[in-house]
Structure 1
Amino acid sequence: MAKNKKEMIPEERLAAALVPEEEQPYELPDGWKWVHLGGILDVSKKKMEEFTPDTKYVGLENIEKDTGVIRAVNADGIKSTKNVFEAGDILYGKLRPYLNKHGVVEFSGVCSTDILVFKTSPLMENKLINHYFDLPQVISFAVSHSKGINLPRVNAKDILNICVPLPPLSEQQRLVARIESLFAKLDAAKAKVQAVLDAHETRKAALLDEAFRGKLTETLDETSTAEDFLDEIYAVKAQLVKEKKIKKPKRLPSMTDEEKPFEIPNTWRWVRFGDILRIINGDRGKNYPSKKELHEAGDIPFISALNIQDNTIATEHLLYVDEERYNLLRSGKLKKGDLVLCIRGSLGKNGRYPFDRGAIASSLVIIRSYLDNDAMYDYISFYLDSLLFKNEMSKYDNGTAQPNLGAGDLSLFAVPLPPLAEQHEIVAVLDRLLGREEEVRQSAESVLAAIDSMKQSILARAFRGELGA
């Protein structure tokens, strides 16, 4: 009668795990063997239902994507049956395997049942197997064998069926040491580049802050004032009301000194957002398009927060309404150059509208200038990305589970308004300085991608027996 795996000695398990020659992915060096993972590695079935206060717990959220970093939390308050693991085991996230969450754990404890526990093996260095899980073809295998649409999971049986190149144990140990030595150098370089990337948003915020305090244009010889620009806006607004193109806007309260966030130049003025800009809600009544009235192709885009990417409207996932539905809408109709702002959910997400016409979802508002002036739009676009705007949002956000901002509250936001000529200069300076920052960001991301590519190259060479000393 054939022995089961528990009865076999390591050499017998190895012989039973060999992959037939016709199924072997590629040729290996002498002394190496292709084996099925399940022939050399076991999945622990040990469970625990009750935990002491100091028991360490690992959920999927405690395993970092791609890095192998595992952090534990206290199991106090954790309920239901959990898997048990020991130091040296491999923890592998079977839920959403495309996230590539796995690592060799350095402590003992319990984990989510959505995590497979691979025990240490006398045939294979667990650290080497853990590196093997990072190869693209292994991740693709796990993803292709996962089941479930919203919560795809790969089962242990499929993972244990993966073909693995098995070097002699001494070579495994050498490969682990070599991989970790090379990865340590790459990780050190990556940390420095990541620090540059992490500081990008801080540097951008600092530049915008200086811009809205008038610091970037201190040497500008400006003879006009914000009052001149406001008079022009008010004149256009009055004309639109007279021509019955817009309703007479509600009078907003004057700004008190306490509401002014900081000092601005004498030629500037603090104004309310709604004093200088139109805030247009979408049609939220009976004419609002249903899901079945939104189409994957058409001429009139229907914009949601999902479509706002990198301060513009991305065409990916764009849906459309037909002419009939568009004509029924009483408000929320876009025109080229409008700003689109999310006031529910992804609060503050914004972009410039690039198409001739369109309509907005109920989570958005249209920001439209009374003056057809690109500098004004660009200035406000920068304002929407600033820390000042975020601080204003924090004053009015209703604090519910889904962030929510009313159009009426948005109209009260404080805006530092410079003269129009100075707006042009601020936009030009910010375009130049932030353009340089963007080049630095892109360069840093390219370096990070190159480091990740180098790691994949190292692993590919290692598992082909081509990684020298």
Structure 2
Amino acid sequence: MRGKLVPQDPDDEPASELLKKNNLKRSIEEPHELPSSWDWITLGSGVTFYNGRAYKKKELLSDDKLTPVLRVGNLFTNSSWYYSDLSLDENKYIDNGDLIYAWSASFGPKIWNGGHVIYHYHIWKLEYDNNVIDTNFLYYFLLDKRNVVGETDLHGSTMKHITKTNMEHLPFPLPPLEEQSRIAAKIAQLFALLRKVESSTQQYAKLQTLLKSKVLDLAMRGKLVKQDPHDEPASVLLEKIKAEKEQLIKEKKIKKSKPLPPITDKEKPFDIPDSWEWVRLGEVAESIRYGYTASAQATGNAKLLRITDIQNNNVNWNMVPLCNISDMKLKDLSLHKKDILIARTGGTIGKNYFVKQIVEPTVFASYLIRVRNINKKVSNFIQYVLDAPIYWNFISAKKSGTGQPNVNAAKLENFIFPIPPLEEQNRIVDKIINLIDLFNVGKSFMK
């Protein structure tokens, strides 16, 4: 729309000649500079906007042998049609190739290709001289909402709409007719390329998700890296964690919890190496706690980390609000590095966030569950356990509640997963990070 997409051809008849021949009105407004062969006109001097018909309910029929009635919803999301037996003026019908514009609730142009139909009042039919304005060029102009909604007033409180008067007074950049066609063809070519790239990117994103899931599944089965017979077996690691937990209870740093049931063979979803062990999350966790119910505020004595703050696994600490919390609760609910947060409800149910860095003091909101492990070294491995298929299978099976689904702390305590020797955990984590980095390089290349 600025004359910079395709080169100008000095042999093209300039727009100034189109203005003279067709009595077009030059626009007083000139939003930006144009090539010398272009000109600004008011859109209404070259285009006539016809309104469709406002129908009474009794006039909208269900007999599909009659003439279809095109409503705004049919252009966007609604596949349900009404029909009419009325005989109307010619300008109340549209046919293939007609350019139309939805001007209420949902905005936008469309080159119609759905056969002979009547169009509703909230749609305009555009008529113009094809020897002056190229249909596709006009379509692309109207497609950019900055040219339309951005330059007109939006009226109405319940249903937004654009007035015909404002549309008619829009400044419209008019190139020579031949250049209009070249511009439209170039835009169509670029849009096709963008759709192809977008499709490839989406396909790669799906492949990336599948590859990551496969890597994590292999990692949980002991098939991602080799076992080393010199590694201290996981059974010894679990005994150490048990002893650490008992010491913390003795020192009254944590409360004693109810014993968890032994893991039965029936619960184990697959075989694992001999040096590994099956364990419940509650056995290795120092605590599994719900967050703090508080209102986000501009002032307070602690940051309040919410589900919305951890959506992309990177917290923008400047955007995290504050809250007021007592010293006792602050000590109990503060976040530390290597804590793991789990969303327990809503659309992000089950999603986890590994706390790599922290702005102190920070507490976590009530829709989150904090998992704090006794041995911080195992947290690196467990964060990937909580991304693996074994965990998501558990989440799918353990959603509770008849209203909004949620995962509670008690069920998380009983979640079973395979744990390798600590040395092997480190090798697995390094391998996963290397492979994910490789996937991300591929993703960047696709962009």
Residue in 2 that maps onto 1:334? 335
User: 1-side partners of 2:93 and 2:304: how far apart?
Assistant: 50
User: 2-side partners of 1:306 and 1:241: how far apart?
Assistant: 34
Equivalent position SS for 1:172: helix
Shift of 1:403: 2.9
Residue in 1 that maps onto 2:233? 225
> Could you tell me whether the CA contact under 8 Å between 2:69 and 2:81 is conserved in 1?
yes
**One-letter identity of the residue aligned with 2:441:** E
1:165 aligns with 2:144: no
1:245 aligns with 2:245: no
User: 1-side partners of 2:267 and 2:71: how far apart?
Assistant: 47
Once the two structures are superposed, residues 68-96 of structure 1 have per-residue CA deviations (whole angstroms, 9 ceiling, x without a partner) of xx6762348xxxxxx99764444547558
Shift of 1:202: 1.6
Residue in 2 that maps onto 1:7? none
Residue in 2 that maps onto 1:196? 204
Bigger drift between 350-359 and 330-339 goes to: 330-339
Shift of 1:239: 0.9
Residue in 1 that maps onto 2:379? 377
Shift of 1:280: 1.1
Residue in 1 that maps onto 2:266? 258
Shift of 1:35: 2.5
> Could you tell me whether the CA contact under 8 Å between 2:50 and 2:126 is conserved in 1?
no
> Could you tell me whether the CA contact under 8 Å between 1:37 and 1:164 is conserved in 2?
no
Shift of 1:227: 1.0
User: 2-side partners of 1:147 and 1:317: how far apart?
Assistant: 33
**One-letter identity of the residue aligned with 1:358:** T
Once the two structures are superposed, residues 401-456 of structure 1 have per-residue CA deviations (whole angstroms, 9 ceiling, x without a partner) of 53311111122222121111111111000111111111222332xx3xxxxxxxxx
Equivalent position SS for 2:353: strand
Shift of 1:393: 0.7
Equivalent position SS for 1:119: strand
CA, structure 1 residues 119+198, in 2 after alignment: closer, same or farther (shift >3 Å)? farther
Residue in 1 that maps onto 2:127? 121
User: 1-side partners of 2:385 and 2:120: how far apart?
Assistant: 44
Once the two structures are superposed, residues 202-254 of structure 1 have per-residue CA deviations (whole angstroms, 9 ceiling, x without a partner) of 22111111111111113544532221111111111111111111111122222
User: 1-side partners of 2:372 and 2:221: how far apart?
Assistant: 24
1:52 aligns with 2:54: no
Shift of 1:370: 0.7
CA, structure 1 residues 188+310, in 2 after alignment: closer, same or farther (shift >3 Å)? closer
Shift of 1:111: 9.2
CA, structure 1 residues 242+53, in 2 after alignment: closer, same or farther (shift >3 Å)? farther
Shift of 1:170: 4.8
CA, structure 1 residues 36+426, in 2 after alignment: closer, same or farther (shift >3 Å)? same
User: 2-side partners of 1:281 and 1:377: how far apart?
Assistant: 18
Provide TM-score, normalisation by structure 2. Answer: 0.77
| Paired residues for 1:134-149 under 5 Å | 134-135=143-144, 137-138=146-147, 141=150, 145-146=153-154
Matched length: 405
User: 2-side partners of 1:273 and 1:197: how far apart?
Assistant: 31
> Could you tell me whether the CA contact under 8 Å between 1:95 and 1:154 is conserved in 2?
yes
Residue in 1 that maps onto 2:283? 275
Shift of 1:106: 2.6
| Paired residues for 1:47-446 under 5 Å | 47-48=54-55, 49=57, 50-52=60-62, 73-75=79-81, 87=96, 88-92=98-102, 95=105, 103-107=110-114, 117-123=123-129, 124-135=133-144, 137-138=146-147, 141=150, 145-146=153-154, 153=160, 155-157=162-164, 158-218=166-226, 220-277=228-285, 278-283=287-292, 288-289=293-294, 291=295, 294-296=296-298, 300-315=302-317, 317-322=319-324, 325=326, 327-328=328-329, 331-345=332-346, 346-353=348-355, 354-355=357-358, 356-373=360-377, 376-398=378-400, 400=402, 402-444=404-446
> Could you tell me whether the CA contact under 8 Å between 2:234 and 2:419 is conserved in 1?
yes
Bigger drift between 49-58 and 204-213 goes to: 49-58
Residue in 2 that maps onto 1:30? 37
User: 2-side partners of 1:352 and 1:380: how far apart?
Assistant: 9
Shift of 1:131: 1.7
> Could you tell me whether the CA contact under 8 Å between 1:209 and 1:388 is conserved in 2?
yes
CA, structure 1 residues 408+110, in 2 after alignment: closer, same or farther (shift >3 Å)? farther
1:19 aligns with 2:20: no
Once the two structures are superposed, residues 107-142 of structure 1 have per-residue CA deviations (whole angstroms, 9 ceiling, x without a partner) of 2679999xx534242334443233224547437716
Shift of 1:161: 4.0
Shift of 1:366: 0.8
The runs of 5 or more residues in structure 1 that have no matched partner are 1-9, 64-69, 77-82, 448-469
Mark the structure with the bigger radius of gyration.
2
User: 2-side partners of 1:267 and 1:240: how far apart?
Assistant: 27
Aligned sequence identity (%): 25
Residue in 2 that maps onto 1:67? none
Provide TM-score, normalisation by structure 1. Answer: 0.74
> Could you tell me whether the CA contact under 8 Å between 2:37 and 2:176 is conserved in 1?
no
CA, structure 1 residues 214+90, in 2 after alignment: closer, same or farther (shift >3 Å)? farther
Shift of 1:183: 3.5
CA, structure 1 residues 146+197, in 2 after alignment: closer, same or farther (shift >3 Å)? farther
**One-letter identity of the residue aligned with 1:357:** P
User: 2-side partners of 1:237 and 1:110: how far apart?
Assistant: 75
> Could you tell me whether the CA contact under 8 Å between 2:25 and 2:42 is conserved in 1?
yes
> Could you tell me whether the CA contact under 8 Å between 2:341 and 2:369 is conserved in 1?
yes
**One-letter identity of the residue aligned with 1:23:** E
CA, structure 1 residues 13+421, in 2 after alignment: closer, same or farther (shift >3 Å)? farther
Shift of 1:32: 4.5
CA, structure 1 residues 171+382, in 2 after alignment: closer, same or farther (shift >3 Å)? same
> Could you tell me whether the CA contact under 8 Å between 1:205 and 1:387 is conserved in 2?
yes
User: 2-side partners of 1:112 and 1:382: how far apart?
Assistant: 54
Residue in 2 that maps onto 1:66? none
The runs of 5 or more residues in structure 2 that have no matched partner are 1-17, 83-91
**One-letter identity of the residue aligned with 2:139:** N
